[in-house]
Structure 1
Amino acid sequence: MPDLRKALLQSTSGAVAPTVALSLFGLVAAGGIAFDYARMASLDSELQNAADQAALAAATQLDGKTDACSRAASAASALIRNDTRFANDGGGYAVTIANEATCDRTGFIKFYKNKDRSDTGALTDADVNFVEVTVNSRSAFFALTPIVAVLSSGPLSAKAYAGVGGAICKVPPVMMCNPAEGTGQDFPLSTDIGKGIRLVAGGSGGAWGPGNFGYLETNLGSGANVLETALGANVPGGDCISADEVTTKPGLSVSVTDAVNTRFDIYENGLVNYCASGTGNCSPALNTRKDVVRPDISSNGNGNGNGNGNGNGNGNAALNCAVGNGTDPWKLPSVQYLPDPVSRVSTTPTNMGFPRDICHSVSSTGDCAAGRIGDGLWDRALYFQINHPGISPATVASWAGKSGISTLTRYDVYRWEIATSGALAPKSAESVSQGNGNGNTTNYYSYSAPVCAAGMAPSAQVRDRRILSVAVVNCAAEGIQGQTKNVHVEKFVDVFLVEPSLTRSRTNKADIYVEIKGEAEPLSETGAAQAFLRNVPYLIE
């Protein structure tokens, strides 16, 4: 017996069993905690997914129209059904969101105008751009945690913040500094429509401000040729441009405005090959009314017959369509539109395109009260006297649905000329006294319809060639200096190209003169769309 007791005490067989038995309590507890934590995490994911989907559904209704807030709230609470399988608080499967129809910043559905939620003051349906949605809280009671049914996750909820993001595609990558920056006003207001803007290339020294313009990054590459292609192309390549944030592009070049001039039927020597007049890649508008003239295209000589008008200088037999350099045919008229700075009256010009605002026409910088931003007062009477004698501007104002002559814009007249038979004459005599440089006299003519290349008609899928959709940014607030990333876009605005960019006695070739048309209008995405504005809801957080 003593030997048996001693052997039993010294035996190690089965020694691990007590250890396992003791540790089993800890292992079961750890497993239970892991199970319940996974259940709680899954519930949190379900709630967040419900909040995300509800916020996106609400954002789709933020169109600035009547009842936008009400429709957004209804979409958040009822458009999409989300269930939870991990809540066991007796509340059923459905994840719910309390509906409310007021444009405010309270409750489970909150609306904001600014992305950073810095709003102050009351909101309206037209103001709201962003929505925050919070789902009703749910709980998961722990099942396997050692203290069963006593502990729980507590009330869990989730919220999501969404807005409507846009991308504008197949448009020239152009931006301009907000004319209303720092004023507290929106741009453009209804009173801005029809005003001229003298857009001056930024980046040449000094701070960027209202009236400066530049270009945007679209992954097309770098260099003046790339910008020329993008500005002149019927269908610009590159990525779509975000309607919310952009990257400005440095490296401005005077030569890129040559591509803008193709829209006026002007094809300079040395123009990027892609935009040569014979390629059909950079078409003129149907209405190319401008202040330059040329010899009769049916005759030979005088620089308008065989030449290098295909834009790459290789001398192929093509119509020369460059501006006044040696034998280039397009020239300024013998008497230009140059109003006197005091009387505001001009000697009757021998040819007249759409003019600048008078306050921009009296000198190289003008004397407009708002600097580079005009007042919309342009010489309507003289324009009709030169181009449409016998027709009153009031007739066109009535056609355009305007209340009077004072609100008649250049774009209104432009459209009327396209729509009215005979308003775009094939050619009209300008002068018989302008020499051609060799002692002979040459007849020069005004051509209001394209003669160098086939004009491109606007449609539901094609932007008019004299309309640019431009990104408006707050240059001072965004610190624009050459290449600047993540620049917030206030909005895209359509502008009408008033005149070709040429060096004249009072104009600089590097500048672009435009008339404000209004906020950019979306075009159809069907077919071979030339330009369109796409708006899609997106989650912010």
Structure 2
Amino acid sequence: MLRIVRAFWHDQRGIALILVSVMLPVIIGFSLLAIDMSRVNNLHNDLQKAADAFALAGAAELDGSSGSWIRAERAMATLVSNDSYFSTVGTNGKLTLTSGQPGGTANCNAAGNISWCFLKAIPTSDSTQITAANLTTYVADANVATGEAQTRFVQVTVTPVGFAAIFPASFLTGNAANNGFNVSAVSVAGFVSGVCDFTPVFICNPYEMDANGTNRAGGYTLQQAVSDPAVHRRLIELRKVGNGAAAGPGNFGFLEPPPGVGNGAQALAETIATSKPIGCYESGHVSTKTGQNAGPVQDAFNVRFGIRATGGGFNSAEYGPASNVRKGAVPASKGNQCPQYNQLTFYGAGNMGLPRDATTPYMSGRMGDGNWDLSTYWSTNFASASRPSSWNATKPTRYEVYKYEQSAGLVGTASAGGEVGTPPNACQPPVTSVDRRLLYGAILNCNALEAAGNDLSGHSTNLPVEAFGSFFLTEPVASASDDASVMVELVDVTGANGQGTLNNFLRDEAQLYR
């Protein structure tokens, strides 16, 4: 008997079945937990990808210009539609995540399956979350005009969706009555917009609205002006912002040159005169340069017209003139010299540059009505040469005429007084890689910036840009004084309604930050 008991005690046959029976609930539990972890991970990935897509779509419109909030909402509503799986809502666990367009008037809003806030900044540390408690530190101003200019980021939060666990979730949540929990996702994206190879110039927006929502340019916005030929052919008289001079619509000044260019008026003038500028500027972070003497700056503009700098300088190929320098002037003395400004005779018999507008009813007499004398200009310079018939119905811009002279081979045609548009051989060879008659600059809402305490005639930093633009120089700068006029015609701007001619300069990038 004792032997039988001892044999039974040492018999190990069938022990695996006992161990499996004991561990089977644990094995099944871990299997269910692994399945749940996979399901909830897939759900969170779907929600996170949706949040990222919404944030990137919205951030791509946050260029700091007017209407950026409503454009961001439109982009999120129309460009993004993501599916998520394994939630307790939707059809068989499939939920299509969408947004909506509440109108672009609020700095924080919600629509569809997401909510969002437009932010002016984010915490420096990724471990610091943006919550309801600290949101006021980072959210853009509730006033649309101010907030849009501040906005650099958008935070998108997906509305939490339920997840039903197979594994008893009460062990995880501590709620015996609930076998599930909610899953959400948050994403922060920002927009970096800028230009490279741009001249360090800013132009005060001639179409900037005042505090009452009106302006002195006929009520047009900058974007409306560039899309309407009757408006953007208006001639604009720019004047330099000097020390103590107020910066307002129609003024221009200088941006901080890129590192390595050097200080002083001559270095600044060289960065304006060159055909190979190296400056890059972001739309939310430009800095103005303290006012400089205007003398070399006048030369920096005029070398583009085949006019030799007064004090020498600008004698290398990168400072060459445009390929069409017709300006209504011939040298006072004969010969194919490269003249200085004071050696030119303007508007002599039979010579005519691009004329100014007939009247200047806008911007206190510094913006014309767009009605300029095309017929006399054409007959003076090109006699009976044909021109596009469409110009008879819609008057072209001066820039269009200038470009047509080049494409039609009329640059070398002599006017009645003997002027040709070809630069003198004694000047540097004409630059053909870029259009030297175009002035590129950052367009600032100077009234609003100065009202906010910025000194645009001095050194102000981190200024938002309404748009980057190009302006056609219609005539040389006549004076070296600080109140000298630079006559320009608006050609194109970045952003809404832009014509696309500045795309080669643009460096736009929406990127995820969190």
Give the TM-score normalised by the residue count of structure 2.
0.65
Using the TM superposition, give the Cα deviation of residue 153 of structure 1 relative to its aligned residue in structure 2, in angstroms. Answer: 11
- Map residues 172-183 of structure 1 onto 2, 5 A cutoff: 172-181=199-208, 182=210, 183=213
CA RMSD of aligned residues (A): 4.5
Q: Percent identity?
A: 31
Match of 1:192 among 231, 252, 255: 231
1:284 aligns with 2:317: no
| One-letter amino acid matched to 2:352 | M
- Map residues 144-163 of structure 1 onto 2, 5 A cutoff: 147=174, 155=182, 157-160=184-187, 162=189
1:50 and 1:95 in contact (8 A); partners too: no
Task: Determine the C-alpha separation between the residues in 2 that align with 1:134 and 1:449.
Answer: 60
| Cα distance per residue 1:88-134 (max 9 Å; x no partner) | 9999xx9976224657563335799998475879xxxxxx9987643
1:477 aligns with 2:448: yes
1:496 aligns with 2:485: no
Using the TM superposition, give the Cα deviation of residue 168 of structure 1 relative to its aligned residue in structure 2, in angstroms. Answer: 1.2
Partner of 1:323: 341
Task: Determine the C-alpha separation between the residues in 2 that align with 1:476 and 1:95.
Answer: 52
Mark the runs of 5 or more structure 1 residues left unpaired by the alignment.
Answer: 1-39, 122-127, 299-303, 305-319, 325-329, 337-348, 361-366, 431-444, 526-530
Distance 1:75 1:170, change over 3 A: same
2:154 and 2:190 in contact (8 A); partners too: yes
Using the TM superposition, give the Cα deviation of residue 456 of structure 1 relative to its aligned residue in structure 2, in angstroms. Answer: 2.5
Partner of 1:409: 397
| Cα distance per residue 1:156-187 (max 9 Å; x no partner) | 53444546542111021211111122245421
- Map residues 41-80 of structure 1 onto 2, 5 A cutoff: 51-57=51-57, 59=59, 72-73=76-77, 75-78=79-82
1:51 and 1:160 in contact (8 A); partners too: yes
Task: Determine the C-alpha separation between the residues in 2 that align with 1:70 and 1:373.
Answer: 35
Using the TM superposition, give the Cα deviation of residue 60 of structure 1 relative to its aligned residue in structure 2, in angstroms. Answer: 5.0
Using the TM superposition, give the Cα deviation of residue 44 of structure 1 relative to its aligned residue in structure 2, in angstroms. Answer: 9.5
Task: Determine the C-alpha separation between the residues in 1 that align with 2:366 and 2:173.
Answer: 75
Distance 1:97 1:492, change over 3 A: farther
Task: Determine the C-alpha separation between the residues in 2 that align with 1:237 and 1:524.
Answer: 16
Partner of 1:386: 380
Partner of 2:286: 246
Match of 2:491 among 517, 527, 536: 517
- Map residues 299-338 of structure 1 onto 2, 5 A cutoff: 304=337, 320-324=338-342, 330-333=343-346
- Map residues 11-30 of structure 1 onto 2, 5 A cutoff: none
Using the TM superposition, give the Cα deviation of residue 262 of structure 1 relative to its aligned residue in structure 2, in angstroms. Answer: 1.6
Give the TM-score normalised by the residue count of structure 1.
0.62
1:54 and 1:76 in contact (8 A); partners too: yes
1:377 aligns with 2:362: no
Using the TM superposition, give the Cα deviation of residue 369 of structure 1 relative to its aligned residue in structure 2, in angstroms. Answer: 6.3
Task: Determine the C-alpha separation between the residues in 2 that align with 1:358 and 1:112.
Answer: 49
DSSP 3-state at the match of 2:160: coil
Task: Determine the C-alpha separation between the residues in 2 that align with 1:237 and 1:152.
Answer: 62
1:73 and 1:109 in contact (8 A); partners too: no
1:446 aligns with 2:419: yes
Aligned residues: 407
Distance 1:146 1:261, change over 3 A: closer
Partner of 2:98: 99
| One-letter amino acid matched to 1:205 | G
| Cα distance per residue 1:467-519 (max 9 Å; x no partner) | 12322211111114222222221112221110111239xx9883311012232
1:397 and 1:408 in contact (8 A); partners too: no
1:368 and 1:375 in contact (8 A); partners too: yes
2:154 and 2:188 in contact (8 A); partners too: yes
| One-letter amino acid matched to 1:186 | T
| One-letter amino acid matched to 1:535 | D
